[in-house]
Amino acid sequence: MVPHYPTKRSALVPTLLYAQDEVGYLSDEVIREIAGRLEVTELEVRNVISYYSMLTTKPRGRYNVQVCTNISCMIRGGEQILGHCAKQLGIQNKQTTSDGMFSLEEVECIGACSWAPAAQVNYDFHENLTPEKMDGILAAYRKKGTQ
């Protein structure tokens, strides 16, 4: 992506996200590597990471369940979906299951307001959710993850 911009640094945000998708999180090693390639200091890279809510320096579950509870989803039961996921997975917001399969996150508007309540598992959208539908979705990911 670097040749697309007049400055190398401009590729930083998408590069971090793609690196995170590969490795699982932004480890010290990844940060060092990216800082070197884009010719910025590690401190500057960390400064940028701390700003964006999708970027993390801590490992997460293989499937990150992100439930929206913002206004449109809240009205249609987003909080119940979040509570249901917490109960089913046995973890709270921003925690990871002990087998490393799932982590849970309460997120802000993901742009699925007309199809609320909604959640994203990694990058996949799941919409018009009910607790039963969510059970099916979690079971499908669990099956996929154990294969």
Partner 1 sequence: MADLVSHPDEVKIVSRRFGMGATNIDRYLELDGYKAVQKALTLEPDAIINEVKNSGLRGRGGAGFSTGMKWSFVPKQAAKPKYVLCNGDESEPGTCKDRLIFEHDPHSVIEGVVIAGLSVGANNGYIYIRGEYRYLSNIMQKAIKDAYAKGFLGKNIFGSGRDFDVYWHGGAGAYEVGEESALMESLEGKRGIPRIRPPFPAVVGLWGGPTIINNAETLANVPHIILGGADWYAKLGTPKNGGTRLFCLSGNIARPGVYELPMGYNLKKMIYEVGGGIPQGRKLKAVVPGGSSCPCLTADEIDVAMDFDSVQKAGSMLGSGGVVIVDDAQCIVKFALRTMKFYQHESCGWCIPCREGTDWLKKTLTRFHAGGGLKKDIDNMQYLSENMLGRTFCPLGDAAAMPTIAFVKKFRKEFEDHLEGRPCPFEEKGAIQELPVFAH
Closest CA to 45 of 19, 21, 9, 4: 9
Site for partner 1 in 66-95 (CB under 8 A): 69-72, 74-76
Nearer to partner 1, 23 or 99 (CB): 23
Is residue 26 involved in binding partner 1 (CB under 8 A)? no
Nearer to partner 1, 11 or 91 (CB): 11
Token pair belonging to 127? 């919409």
Is residue 103 involved in binding partner 1 (CB under 8 A)? no
How far is the C-alpha of 96 from the C-alpha of 6, rounded, in Å? Answer: 40
Contact 82, 120 (CB under 8 A): no
Nearer to partner 1, 99 or 130 (CB): 130
How far is the C-alpha of 112 from the C-alpha of 107, rounded, in Å? Answer: 12
Site for partner 1 in 106-145 (CB under 8 A): 108-116, 120, 123-125, 127
Is residue 16 involved in binding partner 1 (CB under 8 A)? yes
